[in-house]
């Protein structure tokens, strides 16, 4: 594996690696992605192998602009409205796949839909231009573990399985894209993420549907109960941390604790700051070698919905 700066040279080399069927990790505004040419079946297969990802869990295809989306998928009027409001940006739309799209079937894990987004990060945009192919990319972590928000996280997690990592510094948003099912006449939330549901409802003028089903049931094939998991146990909504526990704090009123390692996601209680620091902080506390990470309550409005979704999965029983 080589780490390249995301300059002209690095981007040209990364584009070539992708076209030749290799794997390139690259920054997006949300998290680092592990990319392959979405039209080459073997290249896409190597993503699943590198991550240890189950084949039933489909991937997001990254494209440079809305007009390229239409080559691969069918945009409904509602999808167009959302695209105009949020692309380029951290929103993923699940759409009907177009016949003869040229995308590998593996990308969709056999479904007749495809998840697509137009990323807003300048390095991701430049890579799409340099490669001139649609890029299938899940988050660049081993399946089930904490998502990477820095090039070093990718190197630590996936090392030799990746041909090239483009280093574009820390991701600004820090949480994955919001995923919406837009195949029909309604908008269904498959994964809360970087675009708050309230914001989507403002744009569409209608309520976002949420899947009924028992708590923790997968609403998107990849929404397994245990995910984003550090090695340490995670304990949520903690008012009183126990001696020896690490503390992931939020807001100004941090309870006294037994001197374990502490990180405050946002002393001012800002959810954007907390989102940007969430995954790196879980990694750092995990690295301190504690057996449990205690997490203070985090409000559920705005980005809080996505933060709490990730924390609940990090805390879920592991199989
Ligand atoms: O921010 C992000 O979305 C990042 C960056 C790299 O773009 N990517 C990301 O990918 O989070 P990943 O693979 O970690 O999560 C993709 C999710 C999975 O839960 C998967 O099940 C769901 O998208 N998904 C993909 N295609 C789908 C489809 N056709 N229908 C329903 N869910 C789909
Ligand atoms: Mg992921």
Q: What is the pLDDT of residues 127-137, one digit of tens each?
A: 999 999 999 99
Question: From the alpha carbon of 57, which atom of ligand 1 is closest?
Answer: 21
Tokens at residue 3, please?
A: 């780490």
Decide if 219 is inside a domain.
no
Q: Please state whether 108 falls in left (phi above 0), alpha (psi between -120 and 50) or beta.
A: alpha
Q: Which residue's C-alpha comes closest to atom 24 of ligand 1?
A: 58
Residues 127 and 258 in one domain: no
Ligand number nearest to the C-alpha of 229: 2
Q: For residue 295, list its beta bridge partners.
A: 248
Mean pLDDT over all residues of the chain? 94
Which CATH number goes with the domain that contains 306? Answer: 3.40.50.11030
pLDDT level of residue 93 (50, 70, 90 thresholds): very high
Q: Of 135, 138, 139, 140, which is closest to residue 19 (Cα–Cα)?
A: 135
Query: Could you report the per-residue pLDDT of 109-125, keeping only the tens digit for each?
Result: 999 999 999 999 999 99
224: in domain = no
Mean pLDDT of 280-307: 96
* Cα distance between residue 1 and residue 180, in whole Å: 34
How far, in Å, is the centroid of ligand 2 from the Cα of 139?
Answer: 4
Which ligand sits nearest to residue 128's alpha carbon? 1
- 6 and 87 both lie in a single domain: yes
Q: Domain for residue 135, yes or no?
A: yes
Together in a domain, 206 and 240: no
Burial class (CB in 10 A: 0-12, 13-18, 19+), 287: middle
Quote the ligand 1 centre to 252 CA distance (angstroms). 34
Is residue 139, in this structure, part of any structural domain at all?
yes
My answer on whether 182 and 274 are in the same domain is no
* Residue 38, token pair as written in the block: 């979405």
Looking at the structure, tell me whether residues 54 and 196 fall in a common domain: yes
Residue 229: per-residue pLDDT: 84
| List of residues 6+ apart from 74 with CB closer than 8 A | 95, 96, 97, 98
Residues whose CB is less than 8 angstroms from the CB of residue 90 and which lie 6 or more positions away in sequence, other chains included:
28, 29, 30, 117, 119, 120, 173, 175, 176, 177, 178, 193, 194, 195
Of 210, 241, 265, which marks where a domain is finished? Answer: 210
For residues 252-261, give the mean pLDDT.
Answer: 88
Note whether 68 and 174 are same-domain residues. yes
- CA dist., res. 160 & res. 164, Å (int): 9
Substitution candidate for ligand 1 out of 60, 162, 229 with most atoms within 8 A of CB: 60
Taking the centre of ligand 2 as the mean of its atom positions, its distance from the CA of residue 254, in whole angstroms, is 30
DSSP code of residue 109? T
Q: How many domains does the chain have?
A: 2
Nearest atom in ligand 1 to the alpha carbon of residue 115 is 26
Q: Specify the pLDDT at position 273.
A: 98
Question: Is the domain of 188 the same as that of 280?
Answer: no
**pLDDT beyond 60 at 237:** yes
Q: Quickly count: other Cβ atoms within 10 Å of residue 66's Cβ.
A: 16
CATH number (domain holding residue 105): 3.90.870.10
Residue 120: inside a domain, yes or no? Answer: yes
- Global pTM reads 0.94
Residue nearest to atom 21 of ligand 1 (CA): 222
How far apart, in whole angstroms, are the C-alpha atoms of residue 253 and residue 239?
A: 10
Distance between CA 134 and CA 49 in Å, rounded? 20
The answer on 206 and 246 residing in a single domain is no
Residue ending a domain, among 159, 176, 210, is 210
Q: Are 119 and 29 in contact (CB under 8 A)?
A: yes
Confidence of residue 221 (pLDDT cuts 50, 70, 90): low
Per-residue model confidence as pLDDT tens digits over 96-105 = 999 999 999 9
228 domain-assigned: no
- Assess if residue 34 is contained within a domain: yes
Residues 193 and 250 in one domain: no
The reply to whether 295 and 205 lie within a common domain is no
State in Å: Cα 59 to ligand 2 middle: 9
Mutate to test the pocket of ligand 1, among 51, 53, 54, 58 (most ligand atoms within 8 A of CB): 58
Q: What is the extent of the structural domain holding 159?
A: 2-210
Q: What is the rounded CA–CA span in Å between residue 225 and residue 218?
A: 7
107: alpha, beta or left, given left = phi > 0 and alpha = psi -120 to 50? Answer: alpha
Do 91 and 198 lie in one domain? The reply is: yes
User: In this model, does residue 232 exceed pLDDT 90?
Assistant: yes
Which sign, positive or negative, has the C-alpha torsion 62, 71, 13, 54?
positive
Task: Tell me the pLDDT tens digit for each residue of 165-198.
Answer: 999 999 999 999 999 999 999 999 999 999 999 9
Torsion angle defined by CA atoms of residues 184, 210, 137 and 68, in that order, rounded to the nearest 10 degrees: 30
Name all residues whose Cβ lies below 6 A of ligand 1. 28, 30-31, 33, 57-60, 90, 92, 94, 108, 111, 113-115, 137-139, 176-177, 179, 190-191, 220-223
Whether the pLDDT of residue 38 is over 70: the answer is yes
- Quick check: is 272 in a domain? yes
Same domain? 164 vs 300: no
Q: Is the pLDDT of residue 216 over 60?
A: no
């Amino acid at each position: 594996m080589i780490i390249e700066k995301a300059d002209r040279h690095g981007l040209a080399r990364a584009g070539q690696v992708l076209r030749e069927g290799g794997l390139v990790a690259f920054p997006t505004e949300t998290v680092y992605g592990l990319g392959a040419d979405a039209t080459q079946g073997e290249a896409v297969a190597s993503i699943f192998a590198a991550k240890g990802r189950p084949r039933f869990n489909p991937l997001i295809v990254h494209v440079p602009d809305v007009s390229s989306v239409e080559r691969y998928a069918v945009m409904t009027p509602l999808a167009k409205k959302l695209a105009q409001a949020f692309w380029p940006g951290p929103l993923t739309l699940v759409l009907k796949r177009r016949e003869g799209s040229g995308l590998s079937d593996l990308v969709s894990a056999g479904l007749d839909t495809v998840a697509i987004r137009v990323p807003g990060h300048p390095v991701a945009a430049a890579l799409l231009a340099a490669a001139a192919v649609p890029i299938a990319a899940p988050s660049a972590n081993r399946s089930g573990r904490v998502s990477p928000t820095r090039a070093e996280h990718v190197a630590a997690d996936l090392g030799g399985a990746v041909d090239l990592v483009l280093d574009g510094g820390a991701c600004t948003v820090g949480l994955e894209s919001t995923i919406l099912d837009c195949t029909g006449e309604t908008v269904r939330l498959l994964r809360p993420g970087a675009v708050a549901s309230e914001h989507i409802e403002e744009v569409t003028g209608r309520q976002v549907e949420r899947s009924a089903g028992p708590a923790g049931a997968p609403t998107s094939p990849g929404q397994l109960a245990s995910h984003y998991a550090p090695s340490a146990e995670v304990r949520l909504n903690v008012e009183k941390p126990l001696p020896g526990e690490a503390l992931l704090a939020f807001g100004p009123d941090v309870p006294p604790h037994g001197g374990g390692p502490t990180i405050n996601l946002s002393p001012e209680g800002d959810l954007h700051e907390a989102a940007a620091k969430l995954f790196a902080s879980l990694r750092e506390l995990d690295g301190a070698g504690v057996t449990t990470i205690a997490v203070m309550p985090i409000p559920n409005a705005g980005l809080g919905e996505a933060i709490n979704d990730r924390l609940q999965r990090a805390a879920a029983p592991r199989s």
